[in-house]
């Protein structure tokens, strides 16, 4: 049986082809999987579970029906959808995960994380993250009207796009020391994450042990999935 991992779909009603691909993926591949893990940024933006965006309904229904057909589904927050909460979990049947999660696959312990916490060279982003992950900031934000929240989210997104365009690309990749420290702290030799939109498999020495970092890709032009089966892991592209 396969265990499937995806991230960075950035689903948005303005990009229906990604949504269609995700719906097909849940109906076909994922419905026979042992489990589906979504490692953040399923949505391009999520301003609260009370935002009943009609474009999101098919996505919620697809996750709920996946659960009904017997595939447990796990959701980890990304930097775009960190406000996904209990109401979403109840509507979809997804179990919400903390920002680090260890899963056991065969005889391997694998650490899952979205990936933004590994990008410690990007100091302005880490500061912004600390602000928006503060429970007080979130409570104040969620108390605002949907219109106000949408305006704030659009503003943050515009600022982030400008900042990203100005930053050298290596700043927005993971910091190798942070990767190694995180893996040591969780006592794993395999790390699986998304966020950087740089799909790949990296092998390196971690205190004398061969370590592996697997990076999922984004779903803008095509899909990206890690499939874990009896033979180990496979990083695959899903054509559209």
Query: Shortest approach of Mn ion to residue 193 CB, angstroms?
Result: 10
Stretch that binds Mn ion, among 78-86, 94-102, 158-166, 176-184 (CB under 5 A): 78-86
| Count of residues that interact with Mn ion, criterion CB under 5 A | 4
Exactly one of 149, 195, 197, 213 binds Mn ion (CB under 5 A); that residue is 195
Rounded CA separation 197/185 (Å): 25
Closest CB to Mn ion among residues 80, 149:
80
Stretch that binds Mn ion, among 40-48, 121-129, 171-179, 213-221 (CB under 5 A): 40-48
Exactly one of 78, 199, 217, 223 binds Mn ion (CB under 5 A); that residue is 78
Rounded CA separation 36/4 (Å): 5
Stretch that binds Mn ion, among 39-47, 68-76, 139-147, 200-208 (CB under 5 A): 39-47
7 binds Mn ion (CB under 5 A): no
Exactly one of 41, 81, 121, 173 binds Mn ion (CB under 5 A); that residue is 41
79 binds Mn ion (CB under 5 A): yes
The distance from CA 156 to its chain's CA centroid, rounded to whole angstroms, is 19
Give the contacts of 169 (CB within 8 A, at least 6 positions apart): none
Rounded CA separation 93/87 (Å): 10
Closest CB to Mn ion among residues 29, 41:
41
Query: Shortest approach of Mn ion to residue 73 CB, angstroms?
Result: 19
Rounded CA separation 16/196 (Å): 22
Closest CB to Mn ion among residues 2, 6:
6
DSSP secondary structure string, 46-96? ---TT---GGGHHHHHHHHHHHHTT--EEEE--SSSTT--HHHHHHH-PEE
Which run of H or E residues covers position 104?
strand 101-105
Rounded CA separation 37/39 (Å): 6
Interface residues with Mn ion (CB under 5 A) are 41, 78-79, 195
């Amino acid at each position: 049986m396969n265990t499937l991992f995806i991230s960075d779909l950035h689903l948005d009603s303005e990009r229906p082809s990604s949504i269609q691909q995700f719906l097909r993926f849940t109906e076909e591949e994922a419905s026979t999987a042992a489990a589906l893990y979504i490692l953040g940024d399923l949505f391009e933006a999520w301003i609260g579970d009370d935002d009943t965006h009609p474009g999101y309904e098919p996505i919620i229904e697809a996750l709920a029906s996946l659960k009904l057909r017997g595939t447990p589904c796990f959701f980890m927050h990304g930097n775009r959808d960190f406000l996904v909460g209990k109401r979403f979990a109840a509507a979809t049947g997804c179990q919400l995960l903390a920002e680090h999660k260890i899963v056991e696959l065969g005889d391997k312990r694998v650490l899952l994380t979205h990936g933004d916490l590994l990008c410690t060279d990007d100091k302005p982003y880490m500061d912004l993250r600390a602000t928006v992950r503060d429970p007080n900031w979130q409570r104040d934000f969620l108390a605002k009207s949907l219109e106000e929240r949408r305006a704030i989210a659009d503003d943050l997104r515009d600022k982030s796009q400008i900042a990203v365009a100005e930053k050298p690309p290596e700043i927005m990749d993971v910091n190798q020391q942070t990767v190694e420290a995180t893996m040591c702290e969780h006592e794993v030799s395999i790390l699986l994450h998304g966020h950087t939109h740089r799909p790949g498999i990296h092998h390196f020495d971690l205190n004398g042990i061969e370590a592996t970092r697997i990076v999922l890709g984004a779903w803008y032009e095509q899909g990206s999935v890690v499939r874990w089966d009896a033979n180990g892991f496979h990083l695959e592209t899903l054509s559209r």
